[in-house]
Amino acid sequence: MSPTREQWGSRLGFILAAMGSAVGLGNIWRFSYVTGENGGAAFLLVYILCIALIGIPILMAEFTIGKKAQSDVVGSFQKLAPGKPWITAGILGVASAFIILSFYAVIAGWSVYYFVQYVIGGINTDPGDFFGGFITDPVQPILWQFIFMVLTVGVVYVGVKKGIEAANKILMPLLAVLVIVLAGYSFTLGGTQEALSFLFTPDWSALTNPDVYLAALGQAFFSLSLGMGALITYGSYLKKEDKLPGAAVSVAGLDTGFAILAGLMIFPAVFAFGINPADGPGLVFVVLPGIFESLGGMGQVFGILFFFLLAAAALSSAVSLLEVAVAYFMRQFNWSRKQTSLIIGAIIFLLGIPSSLGMGVWSDVTFFGKDILDSMDFIASNVFLPLGGLIIALFIGWGWKRVDALEASDFGESTWGTVWLGILRYFAPIAIFVIFLRSIGLF
């Protein structure tokens, strides 16, 4: 370990940063449209099972690896298991960081644009037309994607402690309050009955569709920032005396709470406005402006606040994505943090441009019927992240000695420790494997 490696200012700082990574566009933008596309309640149920039975144990595994190794995602595997194939998870993780951040910045750019739009007066035309006009423009969205990437690089450039720890303390509670207030208002719009049955009364026939399981698994990994070493990297800035299991459960609980609240905010309005819940990635960018419009004069204030906080939440997630790649390249090539953030940030920005163009001028470019952004998202979230998580689970479950794993995780010899290891050894790998096989139609 290099003597200059940073550490978190406090255990609270670490938990807040991990929460900042978890809570982002995944909870509001991605959760609502994926839930909408997959039929609502049955998907939500599988999603919550994925969080509880696969997500939290692997979250713990990542924290444990990071804290023990005190290195970046690739370095951690090199250090703990030199010359072993486990390092594949590290390489997949860095690749996922590039792919996810490339399209994440596109959507985050949309949020920044909407924020600015509300500052200068709000959206006074049909929200659907407005959104469509904006995302199909070949230049505008890329400009906002660029602005968002500059912000992300700026934070990572300044460094872990100063950059990330402070802002989360104020902005996340604010976002929570705002989402609750908006959910309350959304309930008055007239679509509540339909929304509640859509979200909480499962249509069991949806469970015969294998895509629902992969979508839920991918959403669980994406939303928890899991399977690509973001949480290994954050865990690596922990001091030895910091305790892990409580942190893992709080991060997952908060993240899931945010997602469900977002659902309660979006879906009543979706049904009240007669929008199709399966409308896809534009859902929140059309529904929320609709809500704000119906608020009359106050709408602009809510629009400003909401899109500001959404962009801020996206920023703390984007920072954790960039940090995975930067921490790796810094050590690997002995570059400075500043130099690395600029170079990697520039590459990721360029990599994201096709995702943006795929909304308009390149909309003919599709893979298996998905546009460019959707394809990037599918590969990273539904394939790389669960695969990374599978390897991480096997690594601790089978590559570590039982006593070491229990000690490093702070479980010690305890029932929970035994359950945790059992899940990492058997349940999580088998479940992920089966979901993969089902989705490629093997059974």
234: contact with ligand PHE by CB under 6 A: no
Spatial distance between the Cα atoms of 97 and 73, rounded to a whole number of angstroms? 11
Cα dihedral angle (225, 344, 64, 45), rounded to 10 degrees?
A: 10
Spatial distance between the Cα atoms of 346 and 325, rounded to a whole number of angstroms? 12
308 CB contacts (<8 Å, ≥6 apart)?
115
223: contact with Na ion by CB under 5 A: yes
Angle, CA 173 vertex, CA 169 and CA 174 arms, to 5°: 110
Residues between 73 and 112 that touch ligand PHE (CB under 6 A):
100
Closest by CA to 105, choosing from 158, 151, 154, is 151
311: contact with Na ion by CB under 5 A: no
Closest by CA to 251, choosing from 17, 416, 19, 419, is 19
Specify the stretch interacting with Na ion by CB under 5 A; choose among 180-188, 252-260, 303-311, 394-402.
Answer: 252-260
- Closest separation in Å from C-beta 70 to ligand PHE: 20
- Closest separation in Å from C-beta 338 to ligand PHE: 22
- What letter does residue 423 receive in the DSSP assignment? I
Q: For ligand PHE, which residue of 71, 102, 223, 375 counts as binding (CB under 6 A)? A: 223
CB 229, CB 86: distance < 8 Å: no
Q: Per-residue x/- marks for ligand PHE, 8-37, CB under 6 A?
A: -------------xx-xxxx----------
- Pick from Na ion, ligand PHE, none: which does 321 bind, CB < 5 to 8 A by kind? ligand PHE
- Pick from ligand PHE, Na ion, none: which does 25 bind, CB < 5 to 8 A by kind? ligand PHE
Is residue 380 classed exposed, middle or buried when 0-12, 13-18 and 19+ CB atoms within 10 A define those classes? buried
- Pick from Na ion, ligand PHE, none: which does 356 bind, CB < 5 to 8 A by kind? none
397: contact with ligand PHE by CB under 6 A: no
111: contact with Na ion by CB under 5 A: no
- Closest separation in Å from C-beta 60 to ligand PHE: 16
230: contact with ligand PHE by CB under 6 A: yes
- What letter does residue 3 receive in the DSSP assignment? T
The residue length of the chain stands at 443
Specify the stretch interacting with Na ion by CB under 5 A; choose among 104-112, 164-172, 249-257, 409-417.
Answer: 249-257
Query: Across the strands, what pairs with 370?
Result: 367
CB 26, CB 219: distance < 8 Å: yes
Using the minimum distance from each CB to Na ion, give the nearer residue, 69 or 231: 231
216: contact with ligand PHE by CB under 6 A: no
Spatial distance between the Cα atoms of 216 and 30, rounded to a whole number of angstroms? 11
Closest by CA to 67, choosing from 411, 382, 314, is 411
Spatial distance between the Cα atoms of 170 and 237, rounded to a whole number of angstroms? 22
22: contact with Na ion by CB under 5 A: yes
225: contact with ligand PHE by CB under 6 A: yes
Specify the stretch interacting with ligand PHE by CB under 6 A; choose among 129-137, 221-229, 326-334, 338-346.
Answer: 221-229
Angle, CA 226 vertex, CA 173 and CA 407 arms, to 5°: 95
Which residue of the chain is nearest ligand PHE when measured via CB? 26
Using the minimum distance from each CB to ligand PHE, give the nearer residue, 230 or 357: 230
For residue 67, give both structure tokens: 């804290």
317: contact with ligand PHE by CB under 6 A: yes
Q: Per-residue x/- marks for ligand PHE, 255-294, CB under 6 A?
A: ----------------------------------------
Using the minimum distance from each CB to Na ion, give the nearer residue, 37 or 255: 255
Helices (H), 159-209: 160-186, 192-200
Spatial distance between the Cα atoms of 341 and 29, rounded to a whole number of angstroms? 26
Query: Across the strands, what pairs with 367?
Result: 370
- Pick from ligand PHE, Na ion, none: which does 320 bind, CB < 5 to 8 A by kind? ligand PHE
Q: For Na ion, which residue of 27, 64, 341, 375 counts as binding (CB under 5 A)? A: 27
Residues between 177 and 206 that touch ligand PHE (CB under 6 A):
none
327: contact with ligand PHE by CB under 6 A: no
- Closest separation in Å from C-beta 152 to ligand PHE: 11
Cβ neighbours of 91 (radius 10 Å): 15
Is residue 384 classed exposed, middle or buried when 0-12, 13-18 and 19+ CB atoms within 10 A define those classes? buried
- Pick from ligand PHE, Na ion, none: which does 228 bind, CB < 5 to 8 A by kind? ligand PHE
Spatial distance between the Cα atoms of 269 and 291, rounded to a whole number of angstroms? 7
- Closest separation in Å from C-beta 259 to Na ion: 7
Where along the sequence are the contacts to ligand PHE (CB under 6 A)? 21-22, 24-27, 100, 222-223, 225, 228, 230, 317, 320-321
Where along the sequence are the contacts to Na ion (CB under 5 A)? 22, 26-27, 223, 255
